[in-house]
Structure 1
């Protein structure tokens, strides 16, 4: 990821130059609108993406389109980068990345790679947050050619999918082990010794 997203390693067939631009030259950051907790419903259609890693609730209205990158603006997980594949409600402690000039999947992979650096932009101690101005000046290194952006994003997305599949298998195997341990250690299942 580091080699591909910094241009240290190039995919075959690409040799065009890369450039560095501040975030604000690549996309517009828009802060969401705070939704009253009373407006959240348990059976809502759209997730409310706010300052956390998981949705803070659900609603029947969306204020952002599917295929939008979000960056958590406030709270303990401020700086968390995510990609919303469905319509959603962007809350008051969340930035949405609007009108990107880079291929969206490449931009997401770049921001996810820079997530630790983004998290270090946080200020404040009680309720930490990331200032829009600090995020807008974040330098983003990228290939000029859209085809190279797409190729890099495809390689990294495939790796993400493989990791997710392996993590799912690992989780399943842990559950199987837990169930087997419970049966073996309570005597419900006995081991046959030859």
Structure 2
């Protein structure tokens, strides 16, 4: 096998592996809002299948009562609210009921310091399967100040952006270095004359 095809083969597999690794990383965000304002909580699900269940949970609540928003395409609104923590009933609404392009955006109304914490968005796209985690948002509530939406300081949330850059840059640098060294060797090569 020619070395060029071998390099292309390994490079292709490396890119494919990196893409798969990046696509399974849930989104992580930090959201800061002023007390009394509404907080937009958003997650992005893949668009290849229909969304059949959405669940937003707050990690600091007891496990059996941690659901702040629940939507099921096969249930009516009353039964959906029964799955919700009572403190969040009528305070959380789905902004786009069609969930266009896989965007699951809910609005948490009239936030207070008790709403501070880590929210997780889980989405089910196939009946009978457990929901998959697509987003984690740390909600910070300020007593005064302007609305801010910031990415957290944690490096893990930048991985979906960094990994493809590294996946492309490192092999290209290696390939360029190999070609450069090969050209140097070819220039210094002198056949032995008899």
Per the normalisation by structure 1, the TM-score is 0.29
Per the normalisation by structure 2, the TM-score is 0.29
Point out the structure with max Rg over C-alpha: 2
Q: Which has the higher contact order (CA 8 A, sep 6+)?
A: 2
- The structure in which a higher percent of residues are strand is 2
